[in-house]
Structure 1
């Protein structure tokens, strides 16, 4: 066995998002079999499951499709609004989360990526609620996030990782630090999305170096600075911003992924465990033939960065 065979590494993968998939069903999205064929053909071994219902929702149906293409699942994705309290809200949240977690567990995934609630609709831009949480809502959010993370771990053996996301209540540095400082490190970790964090003004390398013990998962993504400037000037919602190409193919945007990957490798080695780094270039909607060439170039670029 080679001396470094057991060294922790980055597990590089991709996601339906990089094929323009945002919804369980949409005529502008590629069929799920085509996504699986192409993500495997682009050189990836790991995938996320994407929106629940896009891929077959039963492990018995999905596992053979993954195995026949040499693919494995890293995580499922859930959407939550944990700053809202109440028994009925918790029950509806848990119904959604447990459904996705059961599928993720059934196909061998280790993680559940949790995206907080949008304060404005990502398609229409309609303002749904105040963009800033009250102190009471922050207390509810942190307590419910811990509760959900604990319950998912106990019932399904999965690690919940919170995904800071544009147009949600957990977006840039201030909100991320507030969430981390207000929650138990043994329960709550982050899915650091380099693109969303840059979109909201954050520095991914600084976050990894400062809060490395709380980084449980990565999404690799870049932002086009010129498009982002327009988005900020016109105060555009995230959906239209994606339509303009705000999330771009590396290495055309920011942040520079080479130092991010280097910091992530140091983190994995310091912890003694592998770290998922999933490419997730928001592209909804896109022409069907666009994703595969981008995916191939992105995989080659990441190999050039040592990943």
Structure 2
């Protein structure tokens, strides 16, 4: 089965959320991805990597890395913000196209309220999109997905995410039901699905034909629940190491990889460990351990071959 294993800059603490934490130099991040043995990287927040296509292509080629995709958070809930959503998509899609990438990951940007109540299903259901908002929300996403696919030749996948308006399993289901499955694929992020109260393995099986991209995370669920019980937001929880190295958390990643094999999934498996790091953090050691753990699952008889 044709899968490639990549890494995302968030595992090095690089995040689009303002004030997230220290940001390491992009050269260190790419050097460590190469040293650990990954096949590719994601773009990270706009401006973290060079945005000049030639400069970025050279930086990747010198390290033998491919550009896997980019995560693009969008203010989809606000109709008046559609021009800004389109601007972000065109900016990112144009760069991905020049780099020969196949995938682009579209997501809701969320807001302060949803960030504060992330991981609490009763509250997220009470403060979600109203029934009358869903049709136009989905239409905006489809319009942006058409742009990605037909103007830039990219495969758009929607990324459910903690702290946004598509987090809870009911929200994920509604979004997928309202969007054309041939146009909008699913980016399965194991950690964010679990944070929202969902089952990543069940989601992979239910939407096997729709899987376009996969983010592999592991989560310390007891620690997450304890933090949420004390009022932690999504950002608070991520900063306190609820996302752990693969195999050290609560998720059944072996079953998840088995579900991907059953689905005949072919594409990127990208390791993500949402966290804050310091310059002295052993990010290379962590990257290597994550890759070893994932390769063991992929190469096992019950996983992908």
Q: TM-score normalized by structure 2?
A: 0.90
1:299 to 278, 288, 291: 291
Structure 2 CA distance for aligned equivalents of residues 295 and 28 of structure 1? 18
Structure 2 CA distance for aligned equivalents of residues 47 and 259 of structure 1? 25
Partner residue, 2:87: 95
Do 1:30 and 1:288's aligned partners in 2 also have CA atoms closer than 8 Å?
no
Please give the residue correspondences for 1:148-187 in structure 2 after superposition, counting only pairs within 5 Å: 148-187=144-183
Alpha-carbon deviations, 1:11-68, whole Å to 9, x = none?
1111101111014998711100000000110110111111110000011000111011
Provide closer, same or farther for how the CA distance between residues 122 and 109 of structure 1 changes in structure 2, counting only shifts above 3 A. Answer: farther
Do 2:239 and 2:276's aligned partners in 1 also have CA atoms closer than 8 Å?
yes
Please give the residue correspondences for 1:139-288 in structure 2 after superposition, counting only pairs within 5 Å: 139-268=135-264, 274-288=266-280
Structure 2 CA distance for aligned equivalents of residues 204 and 113 of structure 1? 18
Task: Give the CA deviation at 1:216.
Answer: 0.7
Q: Please state if 1:110 is matched with 2:97.
A: no
Q: Which shows bigger deviation, 48-57 or 135-144?
A: 135-144
Do 1:80 and 1:117's aligned partners in 2 also have CA atoms closer than 8 Å?
yes
Do 2:114 and 2:165's aligned partners in 1 also have CA atoms closer than 8 Å?
no
Provide closer, same or farther for how the CA distance between residues 235 and 140 of structure 1 changes in structure 2, counting only shifts above 3 A. Answer: farther
Partner residue, 1:16: 9
Structure 1 CA distance for aligned equivalents of residues 11 and 295 of structure 2? 18
Task: Give the CA deviation at 1:232.
Answer: 2.5
Task: Give the CA deviation at 1:254.
Answer: 2.5
Q: Which runs of 5+ in 2 are unaligned?
A: 119-123, 300-305
Q: Please state if 1:53 is matched with 2:47.
A: yes
Structure 1 CA distance for aligned equivalents of residues 277 and 114 of structure 2? 13
Task: Give the CA deviation at 1:261.
Answer: 1.1
Q: Which runs of 5+ in 1 are unaligned?
A: 1-7
Q: Which shows bigger deviation, 260-269 or 42-51?
A: 260-269
Alpha-carbon deviations, 1:202-235, whole Å to 9, x = none?
1111111111112111000011122111133123
Task: Give the CA deviation at 1:117.
Answer: 2.2
Provide closer, same or farther for how the CA distance between residues 168 and 23 of structure 1 changes in structure 2, counting only shifts above 3 A. Answer: closer
Provide closer, same or farther for how the CA distance between residues 191 and 28 of structure 1 changes in structure 2, counting only shifts above 3 A. Answer: same
Partner residue, 2:26: 32
Do 2:189 and 2:214's aligned partners in 1 also have CA atoms closer than 8 Å?
yes
Alpha-carbon deviations, 1:47-105, whole Å to 9, x = none?
1111110000011000111011110011012111222224xx22221111110111111
Structure 2 CA distance for aligned equivalents of residues 288 and 105 of structure 1? 35
How many residue pairs match? The answer is 292
Structure 2 CA distance for aligned equivalents of residues 285 and 42 of structure 1? 17
Give the alignment's Cα RMSD to 1 decimal: 2.2
The answer to which structure has the higher helix fraction is 2
